[in-house]
Amino acid sequence: MEGMNLRTLGDLSVEGVTFRREKVLLLLAFLCVEGPQPRRRLADLFWPDAANPMNSLAQHLVHLRGLGGALTEDGPRVGASLTGSGTQPTQDGGGLRCDACDLREAVRRGRPQEAADLYRGPFLDSLTIPLGADLEEWVFDTRETVARDARTALTTLAAQAAAHGNTALSGDLAARALTLPGAPPADELELPRLHHLLTLAGHPLAAQVEREARTLGLHLDAMPAALPAPFAGREPELAALDALLPGQVAWISGHAGMGKTALLDALARTGGWTVLPGRADLPYGTLAPLSAAPPTSAHAALGALRDPQARVAVDGWEQTDPATQATLTTLATGHRSAHPGAALLITGRTHPPFDVDLHLNLGPLTPGDLNDPDLHARTDGHPTLVGAALRGQPLDLQFGARVRAYPDAVRDTFLTLAVQDQPNLRATRAAMNLGAQDFARILSFLTTEGLTTETGRAYAAAATRDALAQIHVHAALIHLQLARALPDEDAWPFYDRSRDLWEDADERRAAQAARLRAHAHLKRGYPGQAAELLDTLPGLPELAVPHAWALIGVGRYQDALNRLNTLSAHDQQVSDALAARAVTLIRLGRTDEAVTLAEQIGGSGPDAAHAASVRAHAARMREGWDAARRHAQIAADLWNLHGDDEAHLTELGMVARAQVGLGSEPQVAFAEVLRRSQDLPSVHGMILVNYAAALGDRGSTVQAEAELHRAVEHLTLAGDRQGLATVHGNLGVRCHLAGQLREAIEHYRRALALLSGSGHIRLLGVTLSNLSEIDGDLSGFEDALTLLEQAGQVELVQRIRHNAQMVSAP
């Protein structure tokens, strides 16, 4: 059965159970809080005046056994089957939870919010039965103990709110802690802290605390409300430091800007912490504020740290005078447990030079720390930048002045790292013309200054790039130096941003980098990006063929042909140019010219594979299915030879389509290629489109539509927007022909949305013409056909006019 929850805070009951015997539940609560007990002790404590206490205990245990899973019995000992924080559940998932036990465990484990939420009233406050003196004393003692733990949790939450500058919330929580029902009056250790938090918030209860403090003979220094500084995250660190005991030593390390000082400022706002900035001008000068007169000896300096109620933080070990460092080292390495003094906290950029009780190494804040994805994205969680963002300051100002003050080599190394998403350290060093030792020294300096990670990635690089862009010439020089040092496949973005500074030697290498970047776009299925890139370099003949392939990919066939025509007569006869021209012509419907060119291509390379594919497409258009199958198989074998799985399987899809044309059943012809292409979602999706077409030709329209919807799933997984546009266009045509015009319009509009920015004129024109036909917009229809005619799609335009029965004179 599921576990039960015993409520003892505010009332006494078992959640979900109508059992209301108070003495039985009190016995259960005692076992939960105190653990397993001897039967004799329980009998004497709960029934001191009974004639037979053991018999009374036995009767009550019978009732507890009725609460299945609540009790454990081991001979003379009885206990509660307690589960929850810090305990293991029973094998059957049962057991018992107790809110008072969970609260105390939450405080022990540093979960103050959980503890505060659990406190719904004083422990066993609803009891109405008479109790013996010893049992009544136990109830009152436990009530105060649990309430003190709840007060500790509320005070911790108040301190955290104060640390984050939320003084109003801090004051409310401190007031709850002070007036907590069931808690004893705050003592001499609690009052100063509560007074500080209430005063910081301007809460009226601060005056009451002052009166109570005077009654106890305590002197409280009223602290004016400080302006809240922007501070985010660090809740675990604040909780850990808040839990430091007298005599314990903690160390906070981290590079510059990681928030060490901000964390100490936050602790100072919580009350109880004295923060001492490191200073090196006088011996023991850092510790001077702790005593009436500046200490002049190690003994006097140590004496200032002997107060066990003090909490002292020294900010900046590296800036602290040697005498103070020696004193702090003596205190940290001495026998602190024998004579505990102040809780001590030290910050430094390096790890501690001696053993400490707690070491916190600060790094960037995580998205969870900030609870604001946009803030983290803009700042990379860098605490200095987070603070700037919270203050509404431009991020680049935080680093800009520092970076400009650095020597040129350091400044430009940082800027070169900042312009890279994933820094290439080797290329950065080469771009800066630095030796390995000098580069390592600069990189280490930038890391300790909190400007970069240890891998060289600049924090919030976007802000630095924006600032660098305002210095156009210097930015272009940074990008050009980096482009020259990077491998060809990574260099194009940096060549692109430095065009104004290209020298003659740069043009050829920039063209190679652009070709490789465009090829990568094509392999990823983004021909639009490849075309857009190469559109900016129209005058470089070495880019004509890759540019043509990109234009073919987006359906700009006439533009592809025009780009190939810029080649010299000799270069037009090279096999890769012939292959690109043949593919362009077959897409334009100029079948005979395409086949003539394809027949001029020999060998067994990729160009020969393209040529075989052209002949397959030409045969398919003429419904010469045997020739289509044969040429598609040759193309598939050639692509397989070159290890291009996507092209290989695409051609096998054509083989399957040709086999259907020769009489095979679609399910049989496509079965193998569909199975083999399952791990390539884009290819699989387009083969499903061809499969659906074959099914439709055989009259299996319902299954054909189902396969098109399957194609949508795979193409969506692949992120293939052009493939998805093709599928929605096909679905639109099916609905259009079936008279389902509303559904057809929806599919056409989805196709148009997917084609936005793709540059695929053929698909765009066909979709626009179909949509205009439904709308009865003859002007829009003609505009779409004109768009296609200008792209060289003359035969396609004629077919559309014929299908629409709107043939007009040329």
Domains along the sequence of the chain with CATH: 1-218 (no CATH), 245-290+305-361 (3.40.50.300), 396-514 (no CATH), 720-810 (1.25.40.10)
User: In sequence order, which ranges of 79-222 are alpha helices (DSSP H)?
Assistant: 99-108, 112-118, 133-163, 167-178, 190-201, 205-215
Per-residue model confidence (pLDDT) at position 787: 60
- Name, in order, each residue with C-beta under 8 angstroms of 432's C-beta and a sequence gap of 6 or more: 409, 412, 413, 416, 439, 481
Most confident of 381-385, 389-393, 402-406, 692-696: 692-696
Confidence of residue 222 (pLDDT cuts 50, 70, 90): very low
Spatial distance between the Cα atoms of 45 and 240, rounded to a whole number of angstroms: 39
731 vs 339, more confident:
731
775 vs 333, more confident:
333
Residue pLDDT, tens place only, 581-606: 999 998 877 889 999 999 999 999 99
> What are the strands of the beta sheet with 71-74, ordered from one edge?
37-38, 77-80, 71-74
Query: Would you say residue 757 has pLDDT above 60?
Result: no
The pair of structure tokens assigned to 260 is 């060490």
438 vs 218, more confident:
438
The pair of structure tokens assigned to 569 is 């007569």
Cβ-contact 169, 202 below 8 angstroms: no
Per-residue model confidence (pLDDT) at position 680: 83
Residue pLDDT, tens place only, 479-515: 999 999 999 999 999 999 999 899 988 988 999 999 9
Query: Would you say residue 681 has pLDDT above 90?
Result: no
Cβ-contact 157, 192 below 8 angstroms: no
Spatial distance between the Cα atoms of 517 and 523, rounded to a whole number of angstroms: 10
Query: Would you say residue 781 has pLDDT above 70?
Result: no
712 vs 765, more confident:
712
Per-residue model confidence (pLDDT) at position 627: 95
Summarize the confidence of residues 232-259 as an average pLDDT.
Answer: 86
Per-residue model confidence (pLDDT) at position 165: 66
208 vs 317, more confident:
317
Query: Would you say residue 759 has pLDDT above 70?
Result: no
Per-residue model confidence (pLDDT) at position 393: 64
Spatial distance between the Cα atoms of 222 and 225, rounded to a whole number of angstroms: 9
DSSP letter assigned to residue 82 = B
CB atoms within 10 A of CB 678: 10
Per-residue model confidence (pLDDT) at position 235: 83
- Side chain identity at residue 573, one-letter code: Q
Query: Would you say residue 767 has pLDDT above 90?
Result: no
Q: What is the dihedral of CA 760, 762, 767, 769, to 10 degrees?
A: 140
Summarize the confidence of residues 394-408 as an average pLDDT.
Answer: 71
Q: What is the pTM of this model?
A: 0.57
Residue pLDDT, tens place only, 113-124: 899 999 999 999
Query: Would you say residue 434 has pLDDT above 90?
Result: yes
DSSP per residue over 707-756, as a string? HHHHHHHHHHHHT-HHHHHHHHHHHHHHHHHTT-HHHHHHHHHHHHHHHT
- Give the SS3 label for residue 342: coil
Spatial distance between the Cα atoms of 798 and 189, rounded to a whole number of angstroms: 93
Using alpha carbons only, give the angle 96, 123, 114 rounded to the nearest 5 degrees.
Answer: 65
Summarize the confidence of residues 203-215 as an average pLDDT.
Answer: 80
The least confident of 357-366, 550-559, 650-659, 755-764 is: 755-764
The pair of structure tokens assigned to 377 is 């994205």
Summarize the confidence of residues 216-241 as an average pLDDT.
Answer: 67
Residue pLDDT, tens place only, 632-673: 999 999 999 999 888 999 999 999 999 999 999 999 999 999
- Give percent above pLDDT 90 in the chain: 35
The least confident of 27-41, 59-73, 87-101 is: 87-101
Residue pLDDT, tens place only, 438-460: 999 999 998 888 888 888 888 87
Per-residue model confidence (pLDDT) at position 187: 80
Per-residue model confidence (pLDDT) at position 807: 34
Spatial distance between the Cα atoms of 90 and 81, rounded to a whole number of angstroms: 8
Query: Would you say residue 793 has pLDDT above 90?
Result: no
Query: Would you say residue 96 has pLDDT above 90?
Result: no
The bridge status of strand 77-80 relative to strand 273-277 is unpaired
341 vs 335, more confident:
341
The least confident of 168-172, 416-420, 525-529 is: 525-529
CB atoms within 10 A of CB 671: 13
Number of residues that this document lists for the chain: 810
Summarize the confidence of residues 508-527 as an average pLDDT.
Answer: 86
Chain centroid, CA 427 distance in Å: 28
Per-residue model confidence (pLDDT) at position 635: 94
335 vs 543, more confident:
543
Residue 484's closest CA among 540, 420, 428, 543? Answer: 428
Query: Would you say residue 89 has pLDDT above 50?
Result: no
Residue 304's closest CA among 317, 319, 323? Answer: 323
The rounded mean pLDDT for the chain is: 84
Confidence of residue 190 (pLDDT cuts 50, 70, 90): confident
CB atoms within 10 A of CB 576: 18
Query: Would you say residue 92 has pLDDT above 60?
Result: no
The pair of structure tokens assigned to 310 is 């003090």
CA distances from 30 to 45, 53, 104 (A): 11, 17, 15
